[in-house]
Structure 1
């Protein structure tokens, strides 16, 4: 059983399909809170220096573009985002799988839209491939609360840790008086 903490030195952030169209289809959570949590995850990654991989699906269709705020926070990761042509499980898409491996990190923070489709299947595969995974439930959403709950339960049963962005920021900070703790505490307070 893994028990070593996720740290800025050993973890990476994966944000899956936080697209304007896709987000508008979800009803499991207040989408404004989900959006705010996803943006905070990007801020956390920037402050902690986490390798970050964005992916989107069919941006030129109804799914639409990724949140523009993500480009403002992490422009390089945004420009390098993996644009999938419609592959449901992002880990099945070689460019994304390669980008995840290229982070060199075995501990992954994951969030996405929708939890029950675009997060569930890649997370199950990440676990199968030996990654340790924490799913930020508050930065993910589904069509229904029922679907969201079942997806979170299924991932947890498979070995993922279900968490929130506040838990992530606190875990990475360790000590609020350090430079990284100070940078991260600003995100915790930012609303």
Structure 2
């Protein structure tokens, strides 16, 4: 199957933190699209994992993103996969949908770690952020070169639905409008 399998999906929300986000280029768009996916995941029973990098320095996850809807993992490593026990929460056969900041640091290193651990990874382009656009674009190209699929938030919504007959179809349409 080339589309994202909702039965095997996990949404990974990386480091949308309060002291970092004001510096992120077009950060409001990334947060809005991440929230859309968090809400969609809840509608279709897809688990979420949130990470926070050095929360003492970068603050908690921004209040626009409902951390309580998933598992929160605190980390010091840029690559969350290096944190003890992290991969235990990421199914070996999972379709890992990734959103977060910064694209070229924690997101990229975590994605490369997931790929090295043989996970199937989908990077949500419109729910990623970096301070500089060129860092984001370079990271996206690098992650794709190593095997990550590049998608948009709307692509994820419809792949999770699979059909217009899905019982949450109307709710999902309201999220993408």
Scaled to the shorter chain, the TM-score interval is: over 0.9
Tell me the equivalent position of 1:66: 61
**Where does residue 88 of structure 1 map in the other structure?**
78
More helix by share: 1
Q: In the alignment, which residue of structure 2 is the partner of 1:171?
A: 159
Return the match for 2:11 from 10, 13, 35. 13
Q: Could you tell me how far apart the structure 2 residues matched to 1:76 and 1:177 are?
A: 26
Note the C-alpha offset of 1:163.
1.1
Unaligned regions of 5+ residues in structure 2, if any?
A: none
Shift of 1:51: 1.3
Which residue of the partner structure matches residue 50 of structure 1? 46
- After TM superposition, the structure 1 = structure 2 runs for residues 36-185 of structure 1, keeping only pairs within 5 Å, are 36-61=32-57, 63-71=58-66, 75-77=68-70, 80-84=71-75, 86-101=76-91, 105-185=93-173
Q: CA deviation at 1:97?
A: 2.2
Aligned residues of 1:11 and 1:105 also touching (Cα < 8 A): no
Number of equivalenced pairs: 177
Distance in 2 (alpha carbons) for counterparts of 1:178 and 1:148: 34
4+ runs deviating over 4 angstroms: none
Q: Are the equivalent residues in 2 in contact too, given 1:54–1:81 (CA < 8 A)?
A: yes
Q: Partners of 1:156 and 1:18 in 2: how far apart?
A: 22
Is the strand fraction higher in 1 or 2? 2
Taking the aligned partners of 1:76 and 1:170, their CA distance within structure 2 comes to 21
How far does residue 182 in structure 1 lie from its aligned partner after superposition?
A: 2.6
Q: Distance in 2 between matches of 1:184 and 1:8?
A: 14
Aligned CA-pair RMSD:
1.6
Q: CA deviation at 1:105?
A: 4.8
